[in-house]
Every structure is written in C-alpha cells, then in structure tokens.
C-alpha cells in the first residue's frame, strides 16, 4: 500500500525562473574527463610531496 507521507517526501519543489542559474550549476555535472583531470592532479601532488620528502632526507 502507498504510504502517502513517504511518497510525498519524494516530491521536491520546482525551480522557478529566477532560480534557473542555480539549476544550471546543478546540471553542470562531472564527466569522465573531469574525473581523470582530478586524479592526475592528485597523483601529481602526491609525487611532488614524495619528491620533497626524498629531497629532505637526502639533505640530512
């Protein structure tokens, strides 16, 4: 049987025309290229920090 209260929670208010900008930002989702870019950046940062640590050890 349908639980009215539970079902009603699934309905969200509709964006009005003055909230279109917000809707545009929400719809601009991340795709594969964004994920690859992010992963590449993270790898670069990890490599850079490891290189710094290695250089520090070498100085000692």
Partner 1 sequence: MATKRPVLCPNCGAQIRKNGYCSGCHMPMQVLRKAYNTSDYYYNVGYDKASARDLSGAIESLNMSLRYNKKNVMARNLIGLIYYEMGEIVMALSHWVLSVNYQTTNNLASHYLKELRQDPTQLDNVDQIAKKYNMALGYAQSDDYDLAIIQLKSTLSANPHFVKGYLLLSLIYIQRDNYEKARTTLRRVLKIDKANPVAIHYLHEMGSTDENIIQMRNESVEDDGLFEDDYTEEIAVSEEQAKNNGGSIGSQLIKAITDHYKENTVKMGAFGEVRFARYSGLYVIVGLVLGILLLFFVIVPSQKKKLKKENEQLTKEYSEELAVKNASITELKSEIDSLNAQIDNLLNMEVGTDNPMPDYSDIKSGMSDEDLQNMISNE
The contact set with partner 1 (CB under 8 A) reads: 1-2, 4, 7-8, 10-11, 13-20, 23-24, 26-34, 36-37, 40
Nearer to partner 1 by C-beta: 34 or 53? 34
46 vs 54: CA distance, rounded Å = 12
Nearer to partner 1 by C-beta: 16 or 56? 16
Nearest distance, CB of residue 10 and partner 1, angstroms: 8
Q: Of 2, 1, 18, which is closest to residue 10 (Cα–Cα)?
A: 2
36 vs 40: CA distance, rounded Å = 6
């Amino acid at each position: 049987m349908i639980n009215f209260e539970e079902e009603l929670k699934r309905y969200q208010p509709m964006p009005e025309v003055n909230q279109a900008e917000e809707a545009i930002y929400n719809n601009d989702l991340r795709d594969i290229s964004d994920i690859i870019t992010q992963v590449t950046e993270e790898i670069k940062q990890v490599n850079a920090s490891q290189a710094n640590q290695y250089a520090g050890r070498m100085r000692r």
